[in-house]
């Protein structure tokens, strides 16, 4: 059995290490390294006896494999092979592994060649006069075909290594739903059914990658409109079944977060501000898929507030972009009080929304004109100021230096500008996705599916849709 080493295993590891180097303990100081988050120390044990260990350093885009020792009577049993395979499978968010081996160490050379390591350099006289070969193993590129159909966009993308968008198509039903003032669920599902094959065709036309060559099929399965989700899920299952590909289920909200991994590397720990139609959340990520909720909306989500305010101001669906446009023509003259001035990380938008509705209704009753652009601007500033204040509070209290923004409202330019200011104030590195990846799209689903692919955490064909979900 292979597992991560703990401090209890140290004595045995050092004993084994000394069969390799007489001063192993001084050379490597594994004691210190076990506590070091960069170090990977794996051991193999049979019948509770440790008989091999592997020691490597993880430099995030490359693992340096420093040492691998198997007790003499356990050699030629594939233990070293399995230890390296384990390293590749469990730690291969890192793209490559490098190591040095003496040219005359034929057993090791043959092992590394079997594992697909290639010689990249020679180090003359590296081991007491014997040349060393620098060898490297590269993980192959992973292509994920991703499908998003949770609301009113049918989108399919092919994403390489969770970061590069090879091709993407988004077919928006916005114009149809605008006639009804919002998304009509049944129409949305019917339109997904009509369009999804065409969207796949369009996407495949944009790339040389053939569907038979993709490594997995990913699909949004929650949250969203059930009928819409089911169209995407069934389509994904059919492709996975026909082409014999693993199926990956993705939470749409996590998809929005991973829009930040497109053409970018997520650096942890980070603070993620999620601002969508259904969610307003402040989340800490210590690592991939490691989420801790700091705060969330107590009532309406910020996107929902934008949409409802748009409605009373007769701004057509979708409300967010409409309010943003209107606000540009106005000034913050209504001076709305800021929502919930407490020191928690929670948000509240229903009070602000009700205030706007009251202002509009009262004006109507008194036959007064509403300065719509000013009201839109005042609403936007009040809504965004609260987000920015809470983000500032979190940056100050946690000391975290990386910020990402996720969800449809992150397309808002005023929000982007204000978040940039507060991030700069706290010397934090900010990433906001390109506009195209802020609102619903399949590329973000492909990006979010990649860490799941690496963990081989595949879904089976009983996968079903769920209308509600949170990030954590």
Q: Applying CB under 6 A, which residues contact ligand KG4?
A: 151, 252, 256, 276-278, 303, 306-307, 318-321, 324, 407-409, 411-412, 439-440
Burial of residue 358 (number of CB atoms within 10 Å: 0-12, 13-18, 19+): exposed
Minimum CB–partner distance for residue 377 and Zn ion (Å)? 25
Tell me the C-alpha distance between 290 and 269, whole Å. Answer: 10
Helix axis angle for 372-398 and 413-425, nearest 10°, is 30
Tell me the C-alpha distance between 218 and 215, whole Å. Answer: 10
- Closer residue to Zn ion (CB): 154 or 276: 276
Please list, residue by residue across 30-56, b when 16 or more beta carbons sit within 10 angstroms of its beta carbon and e when fewer do.
beebbeeeebbbbbbbeeeebbbbbbb
Minimum CB–partner distance for residue 152 and ligand KG4 (Å)? 9
Minimum CB–partner distance for residue 335 and Zn ion (Å)? 32
320 binds, among ligand KG4, Zn ion, none (CB under 5 to 8 A by kind): ligand KG4
Cis check: omega of the bond before 125, within 30 degrees of 0? no
- Closer residue to Zn ion (CB): 383 or 400: 383
330 binds, among ligand KG4, Zn ion, none (CB under 5 to 8 A by kind): none
Q: Which residue has the tokens 């020679």?
A: 122
Minimum CB–partner distance for residue 224 and Zn ion (Å)? 8
- Closer residue to ligand KG4 (CB): 39 or 449: 449
Minimum CB–partner distance for residue 423 and Zn ion (Å)? 23
H or E segment and range at residue 384: helix 372-398
386 binds, among Zn ion, ligand KG4, none (CB under 5 to 8 A by kind): none
Minimum CB–partner distance for residue 67 and ligand KG4 (Å)? 47
Chain residues that interact with Zn ion, rule: CB under 5 A: 276, 440
Q: For residue 356, give both structure tokens.
A: 């706007």
322 binds, among Zn ion, ligand KG4, none (CB under 5 to 8 A by kind): none
- Closer residue to ligand KG4 (CB): 162 or 320: 320
- Residue 186 CB neighbour total at 10 angstroms: 10
- Closer residue to ligand KG4 (CB): 17 or 321: 321
- Closer residue to ligand KG4 (CB): 402 or 412: 412
Which among 310, 270, 302 has a CA at the least distance from the CA of 386? 302
């Amino acid at each position: 059995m292979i597992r991560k080493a703990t401090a209890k295993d140290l004595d045995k590891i050092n004993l084994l290490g000394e069969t390799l180097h007489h001063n192993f303990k001084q050379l490597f100081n594994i004691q210190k390294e076990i506590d070091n988050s960069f170090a990977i120390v794996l051991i193999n044990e049979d019948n509770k006896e440790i008989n091999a260990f592997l020691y490597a350093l993880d430099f995030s885009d490359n693992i340096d494999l420093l040492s691998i020792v198997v007790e003499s009577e356990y050699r030629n049993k594939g233990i070293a092979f399995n230890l390296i395979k384990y390293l590749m499978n469990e730690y291969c968010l890192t793209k490559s592994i490098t190591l040095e081996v003496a040219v005359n160490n034929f057993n090791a050379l043959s092992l590394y060649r079997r594992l697909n390591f290639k010689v990249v350099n020679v180090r003359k006289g590296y081991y007491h006069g014997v040349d060393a070969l620098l060898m490297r193993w590269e993980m192959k590129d992973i292509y994920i075909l991703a499908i998003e159909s949770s609301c009113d966009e049918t989108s399919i993308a092919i994403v390489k290594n969770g970061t590069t968008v090879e091709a993407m198509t988004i077919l928006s039903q916005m114009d149809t739903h605008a006639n009804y003032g919002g998304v009509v669920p049944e129409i949305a599902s019917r339109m997904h059914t009509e369009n999804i094959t065409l969207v796949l065709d369009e996407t495949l036309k944009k790339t040389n990658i053939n569907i038979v060559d993709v490594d997995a099929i990913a699909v949004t399965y929650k949250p969203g409109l059930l009928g819409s989700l089911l169209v995407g899920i069934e389509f994904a299952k059919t492709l996975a079944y026909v082409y014999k590909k693993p199926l990956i289920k993705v939470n749409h909200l996590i998809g929005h977060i991973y829009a930040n991994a497109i053409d970018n590397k997520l650096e942890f720990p980070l603070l993620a501000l999620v601002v969508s139609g259904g969610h307003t959340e402040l989340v800490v990520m210590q690592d991939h898929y490691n989420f801790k909720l700091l705060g969330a909306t107590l009532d309406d989500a910020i996107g929902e507030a934008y949409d409802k305010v748009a409605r009373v101001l007769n701004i057509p669906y979708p409300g967010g972009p409409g309010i943003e446009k209107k606000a540009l023509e106005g000034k913050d003259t209504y001076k709305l009080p800021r929502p919930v001035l407490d020191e928690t990380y929670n948000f509240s938008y229903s009070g602000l929304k009700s205030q706007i509705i009251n202002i509009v209704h009262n004006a109507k009753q008194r036959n007064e004109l509403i300065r719509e652009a000013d009201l839109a601007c005042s609403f936007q500033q009040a809504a965004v100021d609260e987000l920015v204040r809470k983000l500032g509070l979190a940056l100050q209290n946690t000391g975290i230096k990386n910020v990402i923004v996720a969800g449809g409202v992150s397309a808002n330019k005023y929000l982007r500008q204000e978040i940039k200011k507060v991030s700069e104030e706290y010397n934090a590195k900010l990433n906001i996705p390109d506009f195209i990846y802020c609102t619903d799209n399949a590329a973000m689903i492909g990006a979010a599916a990649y860490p799941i692919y690496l963990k081989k955490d595949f879904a089976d064909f009983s996968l079903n849709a769920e209308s509600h979900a949170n990030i954590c």
